[in-house]
Structure 1
Amino acid sequence: MGHWWERNIVEPGKLPLLLALAAFVLTFVVTRVITRLIRAGRGPFGNVKAGGLHIHHVVPGVLLTIGGGFGAVASDRHGAGGAIAAVVFGMGTGLVLDEFALILHLDDVYWTEEGRQSVEVVVLTAALVGLLLAGFSPFGVNDVTQQELQDRGGFLSTIAVNFLFSLVALAKGKARIAIFGAVVPLVALVGALRLARPGSPWARRFYGSRPRARARAALRAYRHDRRWARPRRVVQDWIGGKPDPRPARLPDRH
Structure 2
Amino acid sequence: MSNHSPVAIAPSIQDVHTAYLEELGPRERAALMSWAGFTGTFATVRVITYSIREGKGPFRNLSVGNAHLHHYMWGIGLLTGVGAVAVHGPDGTRRHPGVALSYGVGLALIVDEFALLLDLKDVYWSRQGRLSLDLGIGLVSLGGTAFAALPMLQRLARSRRSRTALRSGLNGSPRKS
Q: TM-score range by the shorter chain?
A: 0.5 to 0.7
Alpha-carbon distance, 1:99 to partner: 1.1
Q: Could you say which residue in structure 1 is the equivalent of 2:7? A: none
* Secondary structure of 2:83 counterpart: helix
Q: CA RMSD in A?
A: 3.0
Q: Could you say which residue in structure 2 is the equivalent of 1:36? A: 50
* Secondary structure of 2:125 counterpart: coil
* Structure 2: stretches of 5+ with no match in the other structure: 1-14, 153-177
Select the structure with the greater relative contact order (CA < 8 A; seq sep ≥ 6). 2
One of 70, 78, 87 as aligned partner of 2:84: 70
1:61 aligns with 2:79: no
Q: Could you say which residue in structure 2 is the equivalent of 1:246? A: none
Q: TM-score, normalised by structure 2?
A: 0.60
1:85 aligns with 2:99: yes
8 Å CA contact 2:35, 2:144 repeated in 1: no
For the structure 1 residues 42 and 132, does the alpha-carbon distance in structure 2 shift closer, same or farther, using more than 3 Å as the test? closer
Q: Could you say which residue in structure 2 is the equivalent of 1:204? A: none
1:121 aligns with 2:137: yes
**Length, aligned pairs only:** 135
Greater alpha carbon shift after TM alignment, 11-20 vs 42-51: 11-20
Matches within 5 A, 1:185-204: none
Alpha-carbon distance, 1:104 to partner: 3.3
How many Å separate the matches in 1 of 2:140 and 2:52? 26
How many Å separate the matches in 2 of 1:74 and 1:117? 38
For the structure 1 residues 33 and 129, does the alpha-carbon distance in structure 2 shift closer, same or farther, using more than 3 Å as the test? closer
Q: Could you say which residue in structure 2 is the equivalent of 1:230? A: none
Alpha-carbon distance, 1:133 to partner: 5.1
8 Å CA contact 1:25, 1:126 repeated in 2: yes
Alpha-carbon distance, 1:107 to partner: 3.0
Q: TM-score, normalised by structure 1?
A: 0.44
How many Å separate the matches in 1 of 2:51 and 2:91? 37
Alpha-carbon distance, 1:129 to partner: 5.6
Matches within 5 A, 1:128-207: 128=144, 130-132=146-148, 134=150
8 Å CA contact 2:30, 2:95 repeated in 1: no
* Secondary structure of 1:13 counterpart: helix
CA shift digits 1:38-70 (9 cap, x unpaired) = 112112211111221122111111111221233
Q: Looking at secondary structure, tell me which structure has more helix per residue.
A: 2
